[in-house]
Amino acid sequence: MFFNEFIAETIAEVGISWLDIFSIGHFCFGIGVFLFFSLFYTIPKNKGHVPIFSLLLVFILTFIVLIAWELLENLLFIEIGWKFEGRLDSWQNITSDIIIGVFGALISWLFCHLIFTKGKSIWAYYIFGIIGFGLWLGVFIIVRAIFLGY
């Protein structure tokens, strides 16, 4: 019974359990948002200039966007009818979505740090990010289709 509350196994449990089919999407979102904000670090750094943002600020901005997304998802999307199943997420689901997004951002941060301390090409970082984002997005689409029975 514990795992039914921890991992959503039916559509009725989506948004209520700690983990559901949309959890992978939050991982992708964390990678994508970090990649976007890291442009303000990587481009100046690659050209030998002082970065506009530090990686810590990039991470903090990503964290703020992840929280803002949860607010948007659970307030605005409910009002306009875009929310899956039309109900609020549980606090457990909101918490785990943010943690999973942060985990995606941390992986991007680690790889960015490794690229720049080893003096590698900036393109390796963005190719990694785009492939990682695309791969996890593909996994999300497949898992969602299987879960919803398409």
Write out pLDDT tens, residues 38-88. 999 989 988 889 999 999 999 999 999 999 999 999 898 888 887 777 788
Q: In percent, how much of the chain has pLDDT > 90?
A: 39
Domain ranges of the chain: 2-148
Could you give the 3-state DSSP secondary structure of residue 7? strand
The answer to whether residues 97 and 24 touch, using CB atoms and an 8 Å cutoff, is: no
pLDDT band at 3 (very low <50, low <70, confident <90, very high): low
The answer to whether residues 125 and 36 touch, using CB atoms and an 8 Å cutoff, is: no
Instruction: Indicate the DSSP class of residue 55.
Output: H
pLDDT at 128: 83
pLDDT at 29: 92
Q: Measure the CA–CA gap between 73 and 88, rounded to whole angstroms.
A: 9
Q: Is the pLDDT reported for residue 119 higher than 90? A: no
Q: Measure the CA–CA gap between 20 and 11, rounded to whole angstroms.
A: 9
Q: What are the Cα distances from residue 35, in Å, to 39, 58, 103, 105?
A: 7, 9, 13, 8
**H-state helical runs in the chain:** 2-6, 23-46, 55-80, 91-117, 122-148
pLDDT at 1: 38
